[in-house]
Structure formats: structure tokens, C-alpha cells
Chains A and B, each alone.
Chain A
């Protein structure tokens, strides 16, 4: 196995320290940071996503894999900047105003980051103005999460605020969270909706390709 294969396996298995060690080893051996990213981390997260969709692994495994990936990416990032590796897109992600739940949102952010996207993590309890500002700062995808039926209604208002700011055509909007359905996403005029973190990556790719 090459160091890239070992890196990929460590991430899929959720082994944080070995994943970091393999990035360091790869860099020391002169492997390009861009290859460690695409063939190592991005390939690993694609495999994790596929295993999840096949019902082989679940959120717990996905979460530990994503944490291993994030740690490895932290080491890799300065080298990617040096090499000038471009992100696939910039996603502004946050849990909507009134809602403090961030585990699902963080998992989606990590899966997207591990799929080559630049992430602007706006955190939790994010007001409409902050999403609007993120588009002005260059986000071309807005991803919103809500875990409560009481707070999901704020998504509609945030989309309205983005439209009112004249920015609706500058960013695609995707939503998710336990109470969200396809019908609701259509009703409030979101461009995409996903039931889980793996689906979120696919949806973001789709809306950017559209």
C-alpha cells in the first residue's frame, strides 16, 4: 500500500492520529499536497459516503471518519495554499436563528470540506443578515440546518432576506435537518435538500452543476 492508500484507509476507519501521521509522512516523502487531498482525503470521504448510503455504516462511523479527515486536512491546508489548489466552491453553512444544534451541521460541513469545498462555518443561531453577508463575501452555496419544528420556519425568512438583498441568483440554497422534507424545501424555494451528510455533498455538487 502507498502512503495515499494508507491515508485513505485511516480516514475511512476513523483513526485520527494515523490519518494525521500519514499526511505528514506523505508530505515528508514529497507527495504533492493536491494528490494527498484528492486521492487521499476526498476519495476517503467519497467511500465513507458510499458506505453510508449502502447502509454499511451509520452516523457514528461517519462522524469519527469526518473528525479524522478534519485533523488530517488541518495539517495539509497550508501546503494546499502553497500549491494553489482551488476549492470546488465556497459553502456558507449555519444552523438557523433560534436553533443551537450543531452536530448535524458540523458533520455536513466536514463532509463538504472533505469533498474539496471551502467552508464558511457561520455557527449556530445564525440570523438572516449573516447569511446575506456571507454571499457578499463570496459564498456561492448557502447551506442551512434546523433541528426543531419551531425554528425551521426561519429558513423561509432567510431565503426571503437573501432575495430582498438582490443576491438570490448569486448563491444556491440547500437545506436539511430532522424535520425538513422535500415538500418543505420546494415550498420555501430552496434549490436542494438532503436527508443526511452524504446526500448533502451530492446535492451541493448538483446545484453547482445546474
Chain B
């Protein structure tokens, strides 16, 4: 257990530089715990277990506790001699000033918020009813709510209910507005409705759409009557300091009810902050937001709604709730219009969430009769295949390699990250995010680098590096290929990729490709039957298709059949705000999908093993099968 407050013991100062934050902790706390307490977001890919080596820090003044076995594993002799430590392992023993290098901070990153459009009829769940009510008089002593509900019935919204919190805010407002106003009414499927709030006459009603990713949050403010997106904003998921993947966060939540509540509050708090940012951008008020849709993977869905997550972390991996949820915004912790509700679409399985449902809606997979494959590539990759109106879905653990983790010089798509690589005239040419001097490689860059190296004969089918190639060296003991020499990088060190990096990519692309092949197998199809392939998500958008096909991550079909669609889940969430018909499709979709559990699929290991190769192994595996 973290000792954040030692009984009767004194607290010591921990000074975090160059971010300039200070915090007091009990001796025995880890540096990671101290940083979390100070609100400094360190990269903790493994959630503080000491198995990823990403949270490097160094004491510049004062001293730290003894080195652990994990630190000796992840830091080499020269790094340890320079004083580098792992924040999750190192304990505070006295007052200390620490240096946190930029690569250990979860830095602000480029956030992906654009998407695509699909046609649908504008028919939002919440509509405006304009009212002009007769003021009360000695001849008309009806109570305010009675007057209001009868006015709504006369204006075309019979059977509307008003809950106490909404009634409480309506009386003064109706008088202030001289009995004129715009009522926001949330329509129920049975034709009745609920009053959300009373707004000034003619004021536009707005909706909030949120895509809650494990790493990033994207939020959109939408004009419900016109269907336009008025503002977009993105933020890092603040839960990231408690672990980068969903499983480590479930593990953290399992430690105590307080920990689970903390994860819920941090996440909802950040979404609520984004609402403020959106309103400032659009010059709107929170009370104008009369409806909200939140999509996310199943673990994020459970954290947002405050549902228990323990059962998601252990086989057979069960969702507490899989049907669509409509919950009060205030109940969840979002400050919107008084009676606003949040709609969360259904999830398909513990590892295929409502974000995937939203993506299937936005990309038209839910409605198509065509044969379409759709992939949302991330730490977990969700894949769906639609064929003659049937949809098969699976989730595959592709790992964090495409987010830059577990890669020697890996980083997220921040300035200076190599995002594209070509091999020309015996040398690598690189393109970086914001054209800054290269300091590392992000996901699309590593896929490009490997594809280029395969074509240049630097990597063979099995992933081994050619020993005799001039760019390949073993000077550090492990086979390494030089991408950008120190003289041209932003930090004065070579940017390289290693045999081990190639292996990480093999494991990731093998998992994604095996998932794809098994879905095709379930449907009795092969890749050439695909009319379209949709690639969603930020990584998928910046990914070079030719490179992805070259390394075997994606199936080799004509490039014109590919559609890279960006954040389709966010677009799907917007559609769910704007169309009751889309909600009905979403509600049915989760029931229609045939979920394929890969871990118990008997041919998964064989297909996966074949998919690891850069050669034609996969073709041969199909012949064998």
C-alpha cells in the first residue's frame, strides 16, 4: 500500500523539475505516487509495476531509496551511473529535487478530432417547443408546472413530465421571461416526453458528444436543430497517470472503493472541463446543452457511469451493463442543463465497446449490404466484418507499439516524432510532426521504417536485421538500424530501431492480422471479397497504406477500397445526438453483432504465428487450414 501519510511521521518535500511542482509525501512513497499527488502526469505504461521502464527520473539534489531489481533490468550501467531511476520503483527517503525528462511526461499531443459524414435524417431526441403562456391571474390560479405542461400539450408535446429539479428552476425563469420561452423536451419512444429545461425564446439548443478513449478524450458541441458542429476540443484522459491501458486501470480500481471513485471522478471531471472549453469556443452556456452522448470502450463506459469494473478484468470478461443507458447528467457529474440526460449506446462485449458501435454507425457498416471490413487500431484493436447484413466483431490485443511504447526510440505523435519514412539512395529520409528535428518515432513512422527496411533488404522475412548492411550495427550489443544520425536529431543522439522494435511490430501486426483472418474465416470469405476496408482512429489516419500492406498489418487489396476515416466514433456519437433513428439502429446493432472471442478460437495461435512473418507465411497457413 502506498504510504502517503505515515502515522505520526513527518512529511518530506519532493520538488519536481523542470515542471516546477512541489509536494509533501511520507518517506516510503514512490516517486510516481508523489508525482500523481502533485498532478504531474508521468508516463506509466505498465501502471507502476516496473515492467516498462518508461518513467525515468533522476535526483538532482538529495537522495532516493535503494535500487530495485526492476531498475537494474531496465536501466543499463551508464544510465544508472548518471543517476537515472524508475519513478514507480524508487522510494522517497528524504527531501529531494527531481529532474523529469520530457520523454517521461505524458506531454500534450496532437489530438485527433476530425471525422467523416454519413447521411441521415435530422431528428434529435431533444427538441425545442416555443411557448407563449398566459400569465397567472385571480381568474387563472393554475400552478406553474400545470400551466407549463398544459402549454406544452397545446404546443404539440402532450404527455410531458417534469421532474422536481426542473420544476424548481422553471418558476422564476418563466416570470423573468414574461411567460415566453423555449422548452427543451426529451422525447420518449412511446410518444411522451420529459422537460429538460426552459430557455430564453429562440435560443439554440445544443448537444454534447464525447468519445472517451483510454488515452485521449474528444468532445464536440453540436447545434441540435441544424446538425452543425460548433466546437471541438480534445484532452488527455487524466486516468493515464494510473496506468496507460484499461487493464492496469481496472487493477488500480480494484485496490479500493476510493480508487474506483477517484478514477470515475477524474474522468468525468475532465469531460466537464472540456464542456467549459467547448462553451468558451462557441460562446455558449452550459445550460444550453440539453442532451449528451458519451461513447467509449467498455471499461471507460463503466468508469463514466460509475459501474463496477472488476468483472471486466477477469475471464470470462463480463460487462455489468451492455444495453444502452440513459442517465441523468447531474447524476454522473456533468454540469449541463438541469434535466439533461446522457445517452450511452450499448457495448458488444467487454473489449468491444460503444465506441466501436458508434464507429460502425458512422462508417455505414450498420446499414450496408456490402462486404466491408472495419478496423479501429489502438492498444486493443476492434475489428468488424459486415457481409450480407451480418456483422462479426472481435477484439485483439495489439499492444502499445503503435502508440510508440515498448519501442527503443518510440514516442507518441508529438512534435519531433518521425511519422513518415522513405528509403532513397542508400539512406532513410524522414518526416516529423510539425517538421521539428527528430527525437523519436511514432506509430506510423515505425511501420514506414520497417516497410522501407524490408524493401531495402535490411530486414528479412523473419524480421532479422542484415548483419552486413552499413546502417546495421551491433555496437550496443543488440542488432540496431540507424534511422537518423545524432548530428541531425533534436537531442544529439542517434534515432534508431532495433531488432526488438521489429519484434514488437510483428507481435502487434500479427495480432491485428490474425483477428482479420479469423473474421474472414468465420464469414467464409477471403480478402479479395472485400468491397471496402475502413481504417479508423488517429493511428489509422496517419498510417501509410502501402507500408501497412507491405508489413502485413493490413490485407493486400486495391488501395482505392481503403477509407481512412479518423475519429469515426466521435462522428457516430454526434449522429446519436441528432437522430433517434440512429439510436434505434445502435440499440439493435449490439444484439445483431456476432462476437468472436479470439482467445478461445482453436486456430488463433496458428494464424497468429503465421501472421508474425513478413513473408508469405500467411498464404501458406491458409493452404494448410
Contacts and interface: CB of A to CB of B under 8 A. Distances in A.
Interface of A: 55-61, 63-64, 67, 97-103, 106, 124-125, 148-151, 178-184
A149 B478 contact: no
A170 B576 CA distance: 60
A198 B447 CA distance: 28
Contact of A149 (B248, B315, B463): B248
B109 interface: no
B111 interface: no
B613 to A, nearest CB: 7
Contacts of B510: 60
B247 A150 contact: yes
B50 A150 contact: no
Nearest to A101: B599
Contact of A182 (B69, B500, B606, B613): B69
B499 interface: yes
B314 A98 contact: yes
Contact of A60 (B314, B317, B503): B503
A132 B161 CA distance: 60
B600 A100 contact: yes
B296 interface: no
A124 B315 contact: yes
A-B pairs, top 5 by smallest CB distance, nearest first, are A150-B313, A98-B314, A60-B612, A58-B503, A100-B599
B605 interface: yes
Contact of B499 (A55, A180, A183): A55
11 contacts: A55-B499, A58-B502, A58-B506, A60-B462, A60-B463, A60-B507, A97-B314, A98-B315, A148-B247, A149-B250, A183-B69
B466 to A, nearest CB: 13
B464 A56 contact: yes
B13 interface: no
Contacts of A99: 314-315
Contacts of A148: 247, 251, 313-314
Contacts of A184: 49
Contacts of A179: 46, 49, 51
Contacts of B609: 60, 63-64, 67
A183 B250 CA distance: 21
Nearest to A195: B73
Given A181-B51, A182-B69, A151 B313 contact: yes
A149 B50 contact: no
Nearest to A148: B247
Contacts of B499: 55, 58
B462 A55 contact: no
Interface residues of B, number: 43
Contacts of A98: 313-315
Contacts of B251: 148-150
Contacts, number: 102
B47 A149 contact: yes
B201 interface: no
A151 B314 contact: yes
Contacts of B500: 55, 58
Given A149-B248, A183-B50, 5 more contacts: A58-B463, A58-B500, A61-B462, A97-B314, A181-B69
Contacts of B317: 100
B247 A59 contact: no
Contacts of A64: 609, 612-613
Contacts of A149: 47, 49, 243, 247-248, 250-251, 313
A43 B503 CA distance: 24
Contacts of B502: 58
Contacts of A60: 462-463, 503, 506-507, 510, 609, 612-613
Interface centre among A63, A150, A182 (most CB of B within 10 A): A150
A148 B565 CA distance: 31
B402 interface: no
Nearest to B480: A55
Nearest to B399: A178
Nearest to A150: B313
Nearest to A182: B69
Given A99-B314, A103-B605, A181-B51, A59 B507 contact: yes
Nearest to B599: A100
B70 interface: yes
A100 B605 CA distance: 13
Nearest to A59: B503
B315 A103 contact: no
Contacts of A183: 50, 68-70
A63 B609 CA distance: 7
Contact of A181 (B47, B70, B248): B70
Interface in B464-481: 464, 477-479
Contacts of B50: 181, 183
A67 B609 CA distance: 9
A58 B478 CA distance: 12
A183 B30 CA distance: 15
Contacts of B68: 183
Contacts of B313: 98, 148-151
Interface centre among A101, A149, A184 (most CB of B within 10 A): A149
A18 B462 CA distance: 18
A124 B315 CA distance: 10
A60 B600 CA distance: 20
Contacts of A180: 51
Interface in B25-68: 46-47, 49-51, 68
A184 B605 CA distance: 28
B171 interface: no
Contacts of A125: 315-316
B245 to A, nearest CB: 9
A181 B599 contact: no
Nearest to B70: A181
A98 to B, nearest CB: 3
Contact of B612 (A63, A151, A181): A63
A39 B499 CA distance: 30
Contacts of B462: 57, 60-61
A124 B598 CA distance: 13
A67 B248 CA distance: 32
Contacts of B51: 178-181
Contact of A102 (B247, B248, B464, B599): B599
A12 to B, nearest CB: 12
